[in-house]
Structure 1
Amino acid sequence: MTSRRGRPRQFDRDDALRTAVMLFWERGYEATSINDLSEAMGIGVPSLYAAFGSKRELFDEVVAEYTRQYRAFMQTAIAEEPTLTAGVRRLLHEAAAAVTRPGLPRGCLVISAATNTTSPEVEEGLRKLRTDGVEVLESLIRRAVAAGELPPGTDASGLAHYVCATLQGIAQQARDGADRGTLETIAALAMHAWPAPTR
């Protein structure tokens, strides 16, 4: 006797996930309800739970998808440039473009979704994404100092925190309505605090 197959899902899971990304990005974690998600994704609440688990589990998938789709430029900018200085300059300018893309919510989901959340787990997960970014950049700065690109005595921790704070500020300014040109000016000004390369 052959086992009966379960009923196929009546929706495209990838499309539903992309819809959830947009909703959480626009509204944040706390203000997005399961009913909001169900309506926007075009699936019933039971089907949503069956496909994605809890709201928190869905949000974890959303953050992973958002990172893959909309934050990949951050690693690419650093990796593709010949020096860390050039990479950080490109990173800041591309961030100004990324947070003001037409047809997408303004700002950064990783920052905006954490606003006013009452979930310690969500808050901690998003904080870890941000602090991991600081640690990676600090390590790269230390390597640039050791390689002779940046001057000895460069404050790697302070500089990494400064760049990441600038990125967060650019995202929040976009959320508040700043246009791409204004944000690119901020990016250019921020590089004045970057130490002059030694070579």
Structure 2
Amino acid sequence: MTTETKKIRGRPRVFDMDEALEKALQIFWKRGYEGASLAELTETLGVNKPSLYAAFGNKEELFMKALSKYVAGPVAFVREVVNEPTARDVAQTFLYKAAEFLTEPSHPKGCMVVQGALSGGESAEMIKSVLIQYRTAYEKVLTKRFEQARNDGDLSSDTNPESLAKYLATLHQGMSVQATSGASKEDLLAIADLALNGWPKA
């Protein structure tokens, strides 16, 4: 074996930032911000605290990076549902895809944005505030879509788009809690169908 070969084999494994961030995302998704300890994060990512801080900043910054990855990846579908042709199609696609996503066995149950904003001590107030902002921003996206539907005659003129958006968001939040408590995809689809049966007419 040559000296050059020894050097190559002896090199430390390159730290994969994206892989590490994905692992951190899974921990935060499962444990929440406060429930994810630095000990678990460093052990799972295979780094010590100084290396973790050097790569991602503090725990708060690591969570924010993981959250951005979550929003851009696993839950990207929530931004796309507003492109459905009718308001009811928007609601159906949103609820049906949520039922599938929230119970998908390949990742933690529930929604990271919803679960992380339900509780938190003083140390997590900033994180809780950011998560609430994410939820509020999405309600505004739905409100704008339902305003368009009302203007197009797809929803009746007396429909309150803001209340309708909040209704859908509340259903989604409840479905998320149900999923983390063990509800199945079929359970959540049944809830979605009940809601859709009462969807306002044009």
The TM-score normalised by the length of structure 1 is 0.91
Q: Superposition pairs for residues 19-38 of structure 1, below 5 Å?
A: 19-38=23-42
Q: Is the 8 A contact 1:100 1:174 kept in 2?
A: yes
Q: 2:163 aligns with which of 151, 158, 162?
A: 158
AA partner of residue 113 (structure 2)? V
Aligned residue for 1:19, secondary structure, equals helix
Q: Does 1:49 align with 2:59?
A: no
Provide the residue aligned with 1:70 in structure 2.
74
AA partner of residue 41 (structure 1)? L
Q: Within 2, Cα distance between the matches of 1:109 and 1:9?
A: 30
Deviation at 1:192, TM superposition (A): 2.5
Q: 1:89 aligns with which of 89, 92, 95?
A: 92
Higher Cα radius of gyration? 2
Deviation at 1:112, TM superposition (A): 1.5
Q: Is the 8 A contact 1:28 1:115 kept in 2?
A: no
Q: Within 2, Cα distance between the matches of 1:191 and 1:166?
A: 11
Provide the residue aligned with 1:144 in structure 2.
149
Aligned residue for 2:106, secondary structure, equals coil
AA partner of residue 110 (structure 1)? V
Structure 1 gaps of 5+ residues are 1-7
Provide the residue aligned with 1:190 in structure 2.
195
Identify the structure with the greater helix proportion.
2
- Percent identity between matched residues is 38
AA partner of residue 184 (structure 1)? L
Structure 2 gaps of 5+ residues are 1-11
Q: Say what the alpha-carbon RMSD is for the aligned residues.
A: 1.6
Provide the residue aligned with 2:9 in structure 1.
none
Provide the residue aligned with 2:8 in structure 1.
none
Provide the residue aligned with 2:113 in structure 1.
110
The TM-score normalised by the length of structure 2 is 0.89
Deviation at 1:120, TM superposition (A): 1.4
Q: Is the 8 A contact 2:38 2:59 kept in 1?
A: yes
Aligned residue for 2:175, secondary structure, equals helix
Q: Within 2, Cα distance between the matches of 1:138 and 1:29?
A: 29
Q: Within 2, Cα distance between the matches of 1:108 and 1:185?
A: 19
Q: Is the 8 A contact 2:117 2:129 kept in 1?
A: no
After TM superposition, where is structure 1 displaced by more than 6 Å over at least 4 residues in a row?
Answer: none
Q: Within 2, Cα distance between the matches of 1:61 and 1:94?
A: 24
Q: Is the 8 A contact 1:159 1:194 kept in 2?
A: no
Provide the residue aligned with 1:180 in structure 2.
185
Q: Is the 8 A contact 1:20 1:62 kept in 2?
A: yes
Deviation at 1:128, TM superposition (A): 0.3
Provide the residue aligned with 1:5 in structure 2.
none
